[in-house]
């Protein structure tokens, strides 16, 4: 997987939509591991395309710190609210599941955010995806350079390009027992090309062609049960 450069308020709606579509099956797989859920909250929802992947849940809401992203989601008929991930505007134990997707990588205090997510959850806290860009697997020097530019871009924007490596320690400290893994790469050449073009667009690279066929960024997920 690549596609971790997205952050709310920073990328066009069409790219947010593409990112959510690429990860749709994976989101639903993780939901299936949690059993029946009546309600869910996404922290850092953007325009809400990941929220639409949360099927089989009666009520899904999202918060974002960008009012333009909140309005985007609302205009699409979704339950979106303005809110800070460090001070989630809901009472304790409001949702069966509280989750984020590439959200910790853009925050300096991931433990604070996870604590807030745990506070408003009744059952589970999940991080669907956080990257490990330093471990990127590429089949050409061009794509290795692209991966390095992506790492630099994330760092320049104040993010952590290797946030996936922090998940085990964070979840152990906050939940004790937890499940963790990496998202497997199952794709077609066409989809791989689209993912590479996605990264190039985020980085504003104007080359007409790409050189190489494999860009895989190890991407970690984790979820813990709230006692």
Give pTM, 2 decimals: 0.91
Beta bridge partners of 181: 221
pLDDT at 204: 84
> Which ranges constitute the DSSP H helices of 33-88?
67-75
How many percent of the chain have pLDDT more than 70?
Answer: 94
Q: Is 186 left (phi over 0), alpha (psi -120 to 50) or beta?
A: beta
| Alpha carbon distance 102, 159 (integer Å) | 10
2 in a structural domain: no
27 in a structural domain: yes
What number is the average pLDDT over the span 9-31? 84
4 in a structural domain: no
What number is the average pLDDT over the span 172-189? 91
5 in a structural domain: no
Match 């918060």 to its residue by tokens.
63
Contacting residues for 21 by C-beta, under 8 A, at least 6 apart: 49
| Beta-strand relationship, 137-138 and 179-182 | unpaired
Angle between helices 110-119 and 167-175 (to 10 degrees): 40
| 178, HSE (Cβ side, Cα atoms, 13 Å) | 21
Answer yes or no: is pLDDT of 5 > 50: no
| Alpha carbon distance 40, 14 (integer Å) | 24
71 in a structural domain: yes
6 in a structural domain: no
193 in a structural domain: yes
Domain that holds residue 176: 13-225
Tally of domains within the chain: 1
Answer yes or no: is pLDDT of 138 > 60: yes
Contacting residues for 51 by C-beta, under 8 A, at least 6 apart: 42, 45, 60, 61, 62, 73, 78
Return the CATH number at 153: 3.40.50.150
pLDDT in tens, 76-95: 999 999 999 999 999 999 99
- Report helix, strand or coil for 222: strand
7 in a structural domain: no
Beta bridge partners of 40: 60, 97
Tokens representing 168? Answer: 């085990």
Residue 18 near residue 24, CB atoms below 8 Å: no
| Alpha carbon distance 80, 51 (integer Å) | 10
Q: H or E element: which one contains 220? A: strand 219-225
């Amino acid at each position: 997987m690549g596609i971790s450069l997205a952050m709310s308020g920073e990328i066009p709606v069409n790219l947010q939509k593409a990112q959510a579509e690429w990860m749709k099956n994976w989101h639903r797989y993780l939901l299936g591991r949690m059993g029946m859920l009546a309600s869910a909250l996404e922290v850092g929802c953007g325009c809400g395309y990941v929220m639409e992947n949360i099927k089989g849940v009666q009520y899904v809401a999202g918060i974002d710190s960008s009012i333009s992203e909140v309005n985007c989601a609302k205009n699409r008929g979704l339950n979106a609210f303005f809110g800070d991930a460090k001070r989630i505007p809901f009472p304790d134990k409001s949702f069966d599941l509280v989750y984020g997707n590439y959200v910790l990588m853009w925050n300096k205090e991931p433990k604070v955010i996870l604590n807030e997510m745990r506070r408003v959850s009744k059952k589970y806290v999940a991080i669907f995806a956080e990257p490990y860009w330093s471990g990127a697997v590429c089949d050409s020097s061009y794509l290795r350079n692209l991966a390095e530019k992506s790492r630099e871009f994330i760092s320049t924007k104040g993010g952590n390009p290797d946030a996936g490596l922090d998940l085990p320690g964070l979840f152990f400290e906050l939940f004790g027992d937890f499940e963790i893994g990496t998202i497997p790469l199952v794709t077609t050449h066409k989809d791989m090309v689209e993912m590479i073009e996605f990264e190039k667009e985020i980085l504003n690279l104007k080359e007409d062609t790409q050189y190489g066929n494999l860009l895989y960024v190890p991407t970690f997920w984790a979820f813990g049960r709230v006692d």
